[in-house]
Structure 1
Amino acid sequence: MTTKSNVDVLIIGAGPAGLMCANGLARAGVNVRIIDQRLLVVPAGQADGIQPRTIEVLQSYGLAERLLREGNQMHMAAFYNPGPNGGIERAGRAPDVTAPTARYPFEVTLHQGAIESIFLDSLYSMGRAVERPVKPTSIELSRNDAELRDPKAYPLKVHLKRPNGADEQSSTEVVNARFVVGTDGAHSWVRKNFAIQMEGEQTDYIWGVIDTIPETNFPDIRNRCVIHSECGSCMVIPREGDKVRLYIQLSDKQVVDPATGRVDKSRVSTDNLMQAVKNIMKPYTIDAREIEWWTIYIIGQRVASKFSIHERVFIAGDACHTHSPKAGQGMNASMNDTHNLVWKLTHVLRGWADISLLKLYEFERRKYAQDLINFDRKFSALFSGKPRTQENQDGVSHEQFLEAFQTFGGFTSGIGIHYAPSTVTDVTYQSLSPGLLIGQRILPQTLIRAADSRPYELQDLCPADIKFKILLFLGDIADPAQAERAQRLADSLGKPGSFLSKYGRAKSGVVGWKVFDLLTICTTRKEMVNFLDVPALLRPHWSKVFVDDVSVALNAGGKAYSTYGIDRSAGAIVVVRPDGYVGIVAPVEDVGVLNTYFAGFMTQRNSSSHL
């Protein structure tokens, strides 16, 4: 039996990237389906590290609390090198995260299945679920240019097959989709169907990985550890509960079949891997109380030649970039791919933005993936290289490795991701906020709500709710001159030709706009401020006015203007994109700058929407 259906977005693959995508689109009210060939979720192992920026992203969706509750936090890293008397000795310790602006200055480790469960439960709360086991068997994309350019059209036809009970018969379905997102892993069916090539190379580094509960006298077993020894290299990653993940460098003779020259996993066992760990960690002892999961892999660093086909089919995560797992980037890069895509798809589907906006997914994320591969190549070489010793002066020194570890901190944490100028990233007025880089995520800062002096984290005021946040830094609203400037701004924004009027799409019967959220941030002291002094248009609700002052408890706040480099008299308007990245900064006196910015990709409010 064959059925037919229509859907706005079909996601193929229910790993972290696909689940992030489904969760974000479902929250936005998009008609989305997600399918997976796997019958069950990942029970153990796989990816396990969540970086500081990804924790911020999860927080923007309201999902970080559970991650922090269930996961293990890594705050310190330890480094071991060969000692003078044989074995290894600690060369030093350093913070695991070297990103000064991180809101969460640590990594969280939790096995992939538990991370996926956070998304699955969130989807369930919205009445959604992964359809499994479902196998896509064919996909067709229209060649009609007019159809491809029309976001209301269904140019994709995907045939699905699913088992139908114990008799092994299958039912089939033909899905007509507006968009398809392939998040189906390194061997992506979607990527192969559109003949997208993976560009890059495979290294000679072979590694084993074990998740275990160890018995050991190693003093840094609960810290992230990088160990270089005469017997090879190892990384220790503490996990939730008493578990630890061990990455072990292997030699060709341990895993390569001499007859075929290919890696043969059957030549390796958990006993082999644990013996290698014991040799590396001498004089310390270590045994495995129990082993939960293990595997071996060869490091490959590749990026897809393109991330989309006609902005109708997209690939994300391992489907478009692969790299080593030791820098903890794979799952993070994957989830941030689809976090970047969700708001763009939603705006196009709602008729808020032109379909050309979707070109910026590949523009932004492919550049990031290429940078990631370049970093990973350097980091893997350092990690896998022989340590410097008296006999091997050409090896990797502790100082070299520590310098690279700290230098790359902004990148590995995700905090330093910087999107290049585009129609949604305009750097013309960067000088108005030199401490807040356009193209990077909004820096965390504590603000005090004017109406009740309650402290708020600015990032929490910019959730992933598909809206652009318009942050109005208006100085001291109690100063008559500043109040007059604020009124002129309100008058400009209220004109029919302003971006707020043209693209805002006011909510029916509700204060505010569907597309924008306005927040006014003043320098007036909390004891003196009157939020009603802010013009009505600039305070759509009593909760939308804040002051840059210290909290009543005197333990936070008062640093936003100085941190961002915004002049307290001149002020500035900061636009934060729906994904939390700064899109543009503009002068308070020139709304025309923002009118031009939004006109570059948004559509007039009389455009129809089908969401």
Structure 2
Amino acid sequence: MGSEETEAEHVDVLIVGGGPVGLITAYQLALTLPPPHRIKIIEKHPKSAQDQYGRAITLYPRSSEMLDQLGLAEALAQECFACRTTVSYDKDGNEVPGRGWYFMESMKDTKWDFALVLRQKYQEEIFRQALRREGVVLDAPVALVGMEIHDDVPSNGYKISATIEDGVTGAQNIVKCKYLIGADGGRSFVRRAMNISFDGTSSEDKWVRIDGVVETNMPKPRSYCAIESPTHGNVLWAALDHGGTRIGFAFTADRQKAYPEFNEEAAVKEAIASVKPFSLSFKQVDWWTIYVVGQRVARNFLVQDCVFLAGDACHTHSSGAAQGMNTGIHDAVNLGWKLSLVLRGLAIPGLLRTYEIERLPNVQKLINYDKDISRLMTMQLPHGWTGDPNADPNEILGRVMSEAATFSSGLGIYYDPDSILNTPGSHSSTANSNSVRAGQRAPDVELQKPGTFEITRLQRETPNIAKFYIAIFAGDLTQTMTSFAALSKAVDDSKVLGRSDGSSNPISWITIAANTGPSTYELLGGLPRGKVFYDAECTAHARYGVDASRGAIFVLRPDGWVATATTINGHDTVGELERYFERFLLVE
């Protein structure tokens, strides 16, 4: 044992899997964990800019917002195809309004009001570069080949012994870690090693995806398009980055009979047939695949309080609604800040259990949608369908995708109220029906900077650096100054809330006033706590449902969801906020 202890590499977190989910998780931890914390990320396949083009392509608005708060989205936007146009064609090539991907044109209330289309290989390179800037390099090809959990080691110790193997030399080494994250895909070694059930089914349906540079007479080829083919189901046509196009279609049992071997030539031939009556030719083929459609969810996303699953390792589904990578990003962002706070000794280890509590219900919602969408895309009515047995699956698909629109865009994803993180506060009793609630996304409203009156956005001023933001919507200070001043004094006296805003403080403040002034000092009657912004037109107050004559306080989680909301009432407000944070933060 002594020699193993000497030779073993010790890290705080070992991340298994170098795809987007693993890279984003690693990046968040590298960004927010100060020395001497260490993280390590491994990937069993060689990774380079020459990786195949395929796999995921689409980021929806909420994913883009979360990546923006991590400082990653601008680089993606530089390379992406920003898709704001959709179209659906029937079997005769006529446009059919309001069907297929039409919901994409209604993704509003966000700066990122488009589908960010960028193939996974380009996304991964951007994430790897960002990770390298934080001093962490992806180790590849390196595989996890064994793991053991030591129950006698306390929760803040190196509970896990992981055996890793170099894919080139075959050499094996031991890595000791406090936490291990399995972001290693649908065939996850971590999930299997921990004997976590992967519940669900695979269907008989097979789908084909093919990427390349094409020529066509389709009227709107640079769009997200659905073609209602009688032979290939609801065909996906997606304009890609770098001038490419992806075509996806159902490969029915009848059509499979014509191919003893399905190869690239066959994929091209079937793609051409799938888009009829339009013509299609390939100038080059970048990538193609054929796969079985199914839906599975891991029984647990967290086991023994130290091993996590994220992304495809804990949920797989069809690509019908283009949700795979988006859901994985939601996993990564949800987990990253919680793990950072616990490792830094700023939050109780029990906070980590909220990862599964929050993510599992949302994954189950996706699975339920995906079961219907994937069947409808193969021209089959959903299981348990009680409507017209002769209904047009394309019409029903349009309804289902419209119903799922806010979930698909991510802007409507919420976390249920609970007794830890998402707690309705005193503001809920006085809030109007338009008020943003605990567990909902915090809208990205426009604000003005003091002095310059430069326009900025709330999400830009609340980056995800594993901090909570207490946003004081101060209202019209000519009416709220008395309560605002009482609040400021009470905060100064609070050991929980009154600490200086250093890197070790998990709480930051911002004040949003429905007034402007030559200086924030004069406007607020003293030195402000944190940054101050103006909302002279009260558009931000209105979006959050705040009465400008009373004001309100919203606590924003590091990942951009609302944690709780209170009234502005001096010591009562401070007491309410202290009780909220004392549930999970470790206060000195």
TM-score by length of 2: 0.91
**1:491 alignment partner in structure 2:** 489
Distance 1:256 1:601 in 2: 59
1:515 and 2:502 aligned: no
1:577 and 2:560 aligned: no
Task: Name the aligned partner's letter for residue 185 of structure 2.
Answer: G
**1:593 alignment partner in structure 2:** 576
**2:385 alignment partner in structure 1:** none
1:411 and 2:411 aligned: no
1:177 and 2:145 aligned: no
**1:262 alignment partner in structure 2:** none
CA contact (8 A) 1:486 1:535 kept: no
Q: Secondary structure at the match of 2:206?
A: strand
Alignment of 1:137-152 (within 5 A): 137-144=145-152, 147-148=153-154, 150-151=155-156
Task: Name the aligned partner's letter for residue 604 of structure 1.
Answer: V
Distance 1:245 1:125 in 2: 32
CA shift, 1:427, in A, is: 1.9
Change beyond 3 A, Cα 1:315–1:539: same
**1:38 alignment partner in structure 2:** 45
Distance 1:374 1:316 in 2: 19
Distance 2:483 2:331 in 1: 40
Gaps of 5+ in 2: 382-387
CA shift, 1:527, in A, is: 5.4
Task: Name the aligned partner's letter for residue 34 of structure 1.
Answer: I
Question: Which stretch shows the higher mean deviation, 189-198 or 481-490?
Answer: 481-490
**1:252 alignment partner in structure 2:** 253
CA shift, 1:203, in A, is: 2.2
Gaps of 5+ in 1: 258-264, 551-557, 606-611
**2:547 alignment partner in structure 1:** 567
Q: Secondary structure at the match of 2:147?
A: strand
Question: Which stretch shows the higher mean deviation, 94-103 or 346-355?
Answer: 94-103
Change beyond 3 A, Cα 1:172–1:588: same
Deviations 1:517-550 (A, max 9, x none): 11011111x357744332556434xxx1111125
Alignment of 1:126-141 (within 5 A): 126-141=134-149
Structure 1 residue corresponding to 2:308, chosen from 314, 335, 338: 314
Task: Name the aligned partner's letter for residue 289 of structure 2.
Answer: T
CA contact (8 A) 2:44 2:167 kept: no
CA shift, 1:225, in A, is: 1.1
Distance 1:395 1:210 in 2: 30
Task: Name the aligned partner's letter for residue 87 of structure 2.
Answer: A
Alignment of 1:73-222 (within 5 A): 73-83=82-92, 88-92=93-97, 94=102, 96-144=104-152, 147-148=153-154, 150-151=155-156, 153-163=157-167, 168=169, 170-222=170-222
**1:61 alignment partner in structure 2:** 70
Q: Secondary structure at the match of 1:500?
A: coil
CA contact (8 A) 2:337 2:466 kept: yes
Deviations 1:248-302 (A, max 9, x none): 1111244479xxxxxxx97212332333333332222111111000000111111
Task: Name the aligned partner's letter for residue 58 of structure 1.
Answer: L
Q: Secondary structure at the match of 1:91?
A: coil
Q: How many residues align?
A: 562
**1:273 alignment partner in structure 2:** 267
Distance 1:5 1:560 in 2: 49
Q: Secondary structure at the match of 2:67?
A: helix
**1:261 alignment partner in structure 2:** none
CA contact (8 A) 2:521 2:528 kept: no
1:285 and 2:285 aligned: no
Change beyond 3 A, Cα 1:317–1:530: closer
CA contact (8 A) 1:186 1:319 kept: yes
Question: Which stretch shows the higher mean deviation, 185-194 or 72-81?
Answer: 72-81
Q: Secondary structure at the match of 1:292?
A: strand
CA contact (8 A) 1:18 1:183 kept: yes
Q: Secondary structure at the match of 1:135?
A: strand
Deviations 1:496-524 (A, max 9, x none): 45x314xx4653xxxx8721111011111
Task: Name the aligned partner's letter for residue 57 of structure 1.
Answer: M
Structure 2 residue corresponding to 1:430, chosen from 428, 431, 437: 428
Task: Name the aligned partner's letter for residue 361 of structure 2.
Answer: K
Alignment of 1:409-488 (within 5 A): 409-422=405-418, 423-428=420-425, 429-431=427-429, 432=431, 434-477=434-477, 479=478, 482-488=480-486
CA contact (8 A) 1:182 1:191 kept: yes
CA shift, 1:103, in A, is: 2.6
CA contact (8 A) 1:206 1:299 kept: yes
Distance 1:401 1:531 in 2: 56
Distance 1:286 1:403 in 2: 29
Change beyond 3 A, Cα 1:317–1:452: same
Change beyond 3 A, Cα 1:155–1:97: farther
**1:383 alignment partner in structure 2:** 377
Structure 1 residue corresponding to 2:80, chosen from 65, 68, 71: 71
Distance 1:505 1:538 in 2: 12
Identity of counterpart residues, as a percentage? 30
Distance 2:372 2:504 in 1: 47
**1:608 alignment partner in structure 2:** none
Distance 2:583 2:512 in 1: 27
Deviations 1:454-506 (A, max 9, x none): 211111111111110110111223x2x52221111012112245x314xx465
Task: Name the aligned partner's letter for residue 517 of structure 1.
Answer: S
CA contact (8 A) 2:465 2:558 kept: yes
Q: Secondary structure at the match of 1:90?
A: coil
Alignment of 1:329-340 (within 5 A): 329-340=323-334
Deviations 1:395-422 (A, max 9, x none): 4255433332222110111111100112
Change beyond 3 A, Cα 1:163–1:410: closer
CA contact (8 A) 1:426 1:584 kept: yes
Distance 1:178 1:25 in 2: 14
Q: Secondary structure at the match of 2:171?
A: strand
Change beyond 3 A, Cα 1:102–1:399: farther
Distance 2:88 2:435 in 1: 33
1:242 and 2:229 aligned: no
Distance 2:310 2:198 in 1: 13
